[in-house]
Amino acid sequence: MKYNFKELAIIGPTASGKSDLALKIAKKTDAYILSIDSLSIYKEVDIVSAKPSKDELSQTKHFGIDEIYIDEYFSVDIFISLYKKVKDICIRDAKNLVIVGGTSFYLKSLIEGLSPIPSLNLDAKTNIAKAMQNPQDTYNFLMLKDKAYMSKISPNDSYRIEKALIIFEGSKLTPTEWFKQNRPQAIIKNLPIFNIDVARNTLRERISLRTNRMLKMGLIDEVCYLESKYTREPNAIKSIGIVEVLEYLDGKVTKEMMLSNISTHTAQLAKRQQTFNKNQFTNLISAPLEKLEGKILSFTAN
């Protein structure tokens, strides 16, 4: 029988059961798994990310998990490169692909694509490196050139400031004009997206149970280790679950309040995820967790 590569995505709010469902589907459809989770990408961030266990990871090949350390740079551009590599591996191994996770912005980027970035000569690279020694001045300069674009960027967002400067130096066009002339191209077309539909009360219960389970697994020790090794500078250290533990370690809250804050902030994140998924993706196939597996398997059988 001729191999025909198939891929699908499973999304839903945090703690809705995505990882378990993805593992079941991957086993039944002979697929590898690509995680789209902003914390699971990092090595050593195991408990706070609710990363699949070592046993689960061993059952099916996973990508997008334990790829880099938290003091290493990561962006959606790098994620798209990772996806392309994973797809090539799937095709080489005659496997399908299940994309799963809560960072739906990555999925949206795969569907919509990214505009290319102009190439740079040595002089331009030197100029950019020099300019980025003072990001605030660079931000002000670019604001004068392209207020419409730079108004959407925080003065503290050095990554996006540098990207805007690369566009300007490499093309001699403002970012607004560059993106008008260089429209993004979709990386994936016609991707079926399955969404876990879960009631708010049910989700809050699952979040509370998971938070308490994380504490028993050693959440506080993990955060202490990450802080001692990497300080509080990396962006990942500002994630839900880490910030609240650091507040507890600083003596600002009790352990009970720490757990309550983690649950509350995770529930707020889940609500944002649900809103994003509903507004950003068309033709979602949504169903409760207990019914979604059947829908996915029926779809993949066609």
Within this chain, do residues 274 and 289 fall inside the same structural domain, yes or no?
Answer: yes
CB 196 within 8 A of CB 16: yes
Q: How many domains does the chain have?
A: 2
- 1 located within any domain: no
CB 271 within 8 A of CB 13: yes
Within this chain, do residues 170 and 192 fall inside the same structural domain, yes or no?
Answer: no
Within this chain, do residues 169 and 65 fall inside the same structural domain, yes or no?
Answer: no
**CA neighbor of 32 nearest in space, from 75, 12, 61:** 61
- 2 located within any domain: no
Within this chain, do residues 149 and 295 fall inside the same structural domain, yes or no?
Answer: no
For the chain, 302 residues long, give each residue's pLDDT as a single digit of tens: 678 999 999 999 999 999 999 999 999 999 999 999 999 999 999 999 999 999 999 999 999 999 999 999 888 888 999 999 999 999 999 999 999 999 999 999 999 998 888 989 999 899 999 999 999 999 999 999 999 999 999 898 888 899 999 999 999 999 999 999 999 889 998 999 999 999 999 999 999 999 999 999 999 999 999 999 999 999 899 999 999 999 999 999 999 999 999 999 999 999 999 999 999 998 899 999 999 999 999 988 87
Residue range of the domain that includes 171: 122-181
Tokens of 119: 């190439």
Residue that is last in its domain, among 130, 153, 181: 181
Distance CA 89, CA 85 (A): 6
- 236 located within any domain: yes
164-167 long-range contacts, Cβ below 8 Å, gap at least 24? Answer: 165/128, 165/131, 165/132, 165/138, 166/117, 166/118, 166/120, 166/128, 167/117, 167/118
Within this chain, do residues 238 and 292 fall inside the same structural domain, yes or no?
Answer: yes
Residue 42 bridge partners (DSSP): 68
Tokens of 215: 């504490």
Provide CB contacts within 8 A for 93, sequence distance 6+: 32
C-alpha angle with apex 176: 171 to 182, nearest 5 degrees? Answer: 60
N residues, the chain: 302
Residue that is last in its domain, among 136, 152, 181: 181
Within this chain, do residues 87 and 170 fall inside the same structural domain, yes or no?
Answer: no
Distance CA 71, CA 69 (A): 6
Q: Can you give the CATH number for the domain in which 141 is found?
A: 1.10.20
- 295 located within any domain: yes
Within this chain, do residues 215 and 289 fall inside the same structural domain, yes or no?
Answer: yes
pTM of the predicted model, to two decimals?
A: 0.86
Q: Cβ of 39: how many Cβ atoms within 10 Å? A: 22
Residue that is last in its domain, among 181, 196, 220: 181
C-alpha angle with apex 18: 12 to 19, nearest 5 degrees? Answer: 150
Within this chain, do residues 176 and 195 fall inside the same structural domain, yes or no?
Answer: no
Q: Can you give the CATH number for the domain in which 235 is found?
A: 3.40.50.300
Within this chain, do residues 134 and 265 fall inside the same structural domain, yes or no?
Answer: no
Within this chain, do residues 135 and 42 fall inside the same structural domain, yes or no?
Answer: no
- 218 located within any domain: yes
Distance CA 131, CA 160 (A): 14
Within this chain, do residues 200 and 79 fall inside the same structural domain, yes or no?
Answer: yes
- 98 located within any domain: yes
Within this chain, do residues 90 and 165 fall inside the same structural domain, yes or no?
Answer: no
Amino acid type, 58: S
- 277 located within any domain: yes
- 281 located within any domain: yes
